[in-house]
Structure 1
Amino acid sequence: MSENAKKYAGDAVKKDEGGLWETVKVIIQALLIAVLVRTVLFQPFNIPSGSLIPTLLIGDYLFVSKYSYGYSKHSIPFSPPLFSGRIFGSQPKRGDIAVFKLPKDNSTDYIKRVVGLPGDKIQVVGGVLHINGKAVQRERVEDYKTTDLYGRTVSVPRYKETFPEGTSHFVIERDADRGYWDNTEIYTVKPDHFFMMGDNRDNSTDSRDEASVGAVPYENLVGRAEIIFFSIDENSSLWRPWEWPTHIRWDRMFERIR
């Protein structure tokens, strides 16, 4: 092989190696940016259960703002024990829908509505939520169609619930006011803890169940649910795009979460 040919071949190899390294650098940079955005700004989250019906449905995909409550070790993927407590912390407001790490294992993601703040006394009496000894305003509205334990479509009572601060949302009572958790003891929310409940009051494992969830430590909060960016019928799949035209819930796209 001539000297010119050898030089040309060497230049070609170096060019290929340089192009490969540039591609690797771009991929690494993209991954770092994705991790940074997920850690500091927004985390995508999907709704796997019906505990927040009628506000959030199975098949909703939403963004959770990580900065709303500041940052803890749970703000970082896999919750590495880099520090304790929160930095740049801001407490949630009553009525926020928040993602948190289940206190029992500090790893499972849960999503519920904040109903009790530190120091509050929370109780449910005859299906009506009580905060610090006073019944939360509850107004009956039109029934809501959902599925029962056997998958049948049923109409259930729906209520507009208004917190003392004036924020409102809708809840449903699948078992009317006779559900297992429709009459509870009085729970006193400990300092730096929050009492969480689902809007589907008879189908939600939440802070009323102290053996499974209980009050949620401030450190375990991941972020506040902000907006639905995609929603598809629960019987469909995100991975079967040919079904999207008929299964996407177009009316829920980019809906703010309240």
Structure 2
Amino acid sequence: MEGDNNKTAKNEVLEWIKSILLAVVIAVLIKTFIFNTTYVLGNSMYPTLHERDRLFANKIPLYFSGPKRGEIVVLKAPDATNKDYIKRVIAIGGDTVSIIDGKVYLNGQLLEEDYIEEGAYTHVYDQNYWEVPEGYVFVLGDNREEGASKDSRYFGCVPVDSIKGITTFRYYPFNHRFGKIE
């Protein structure tokens, strides 16, 4: 009788271990291939995102179509290791971007940017015109105050394969900003 109890206890422990390992494997697969979470540090995406916002970054669209103009992406920082940036895609491969008198032009047309503060002036650094190669994107932070965002004006176009996910949903804080990111 006692042997049966030991055998049952061992089987139960093995089942728990299997369940835990399966849960870990599933979590790793989800984090690796489906979505990740990210945390906003700094104000480069203000007013759209605020410091300490927590976001989901969806990886699935990257397998099929890549990022689209206007989407907010998480990308590996081109100028720092082990760091990520959150920026908005302004242009994709084949597009041109110019910044003239504080205004952004996409393919020669003034870009309608309802996500930045009214009257915001987009500063430039060394250049004001970019041709985006295929397989690359041009990204900007929504905060256009001078020095507020390290983005493509600073480090140039970024490879699409450096993008880690597309953010569409803010899951924290639980206030009026909770939900879909516009």
> What is the deviation of 1:224?
1.1
2:114 corresponds to 1:172 = no
Instruction: Check the 8 A contact 1:128/1:182 in 2, yes or no.
Output: no
1:48 maps to: 41
Q: Which amino acid aligns with 2:36?
A: Q
SS of 2:142 mapped into structure 1? coil
Instruction: Check the 8 A contact 2:55/2:167 in 1, yes or no.
Output: yes
Q: Which amino acid aligns with 2:141?
A: G
> What is the deviation of 1:111?
1.2
Instruction: Check the 8 A contact 1:122/1:187 in 2, yes or no.
Output: yes
Identical pairs, percent: 33
2:142 maps to: 199
Instruction: Check the 8 A contact 1:125/1:184 in 2, yes or no.
Output: no
Matching of residues 111-150 of structure 1 within 5 Å:
111-137=86-112
Distance in 2 between residues matched to 1:68 and 1:51, nearest whole Å: 24
2:74 corresponds to 1:99 = yes
Q: Which amino acid aligns with 1:216?
A: V
SS of 1:250 mapped into structure 2? coil
Which is further off, 114-123 or 195-204? 114-123
> What is the deviation of 1:118?
1.0
Matching of residues 2-41 of structure 1 within 5 Å:
8=2, 10-41=3-34
Distance in 2 between residues matched to 1:103 and 1:192, nearest whole Å: 15
Match of 2:85 among 98, 110, 119: 110
Distance in 2 between residues matched to 1:173 and 1:184, nearest whole Å: 24
CA RMSD of aligned residues (A): 2.4
Equivalent residues, number: 180
2:170 corresponds to 1:225 = no
Unaligned segments of structure 2, at least 5 residues: none
Distance in 1 between residues matched to 2:177 and 2:118, nearest whole Å: 23
Q: Kindly tell me: are residues 106 and 173 of structure 1, through their superposed partners in 2, closer, same or farther at Cα, counting changes over 3 Å?
A: farther
1:257 maps to: 181
Unaligned segments of structure 1, at least 5 residues: 1-6, 71-88, 138-160, 162-168, 232-248
TM-score if structure 1 supplies the norm length? 0.63
Residue by residue over 1:112-160, the C-alpha shift from the partner in whole angstroms, topping out at 9 and shown as x without a partner, is 00001112221222221122233324xxxxxxxxxxxxxxxxxxxxxxx
Distance in 1 between residues matched to 2:90 and 2:32, nearest whole Å: 26
Instruction: Check the 8 A contact 1:127/1:182 in 2, yes or no.
Output: no
Q: Kindly tell me: are residues 182 and 171 of structure 1, through their superposed partners in 2, closer, same or farther at Cα, counting changes over 3 Å?
A: farther
TM-score if structure 2 supplies the norm length? 0.86
SS of 2:11 mapped into structure 1? helix
| Larger Rg, first or second structure (1 or 2) | 1
> What is the deviation of 1:182?
7.3
Q: Which amino acid aligns with 1:172?
A: E
Q: Kindly tell me: are residues 171 and 132 of structure 1, through their superposed partners in 2, closer, same or farther at Cα, counting changes over 3 Å?
A: same
Q: Which amino acid aligns with 1:95?
A: G
Instruction: Check the 8 A contact 1:102/1:216 in 2, yes or no.
Output: no
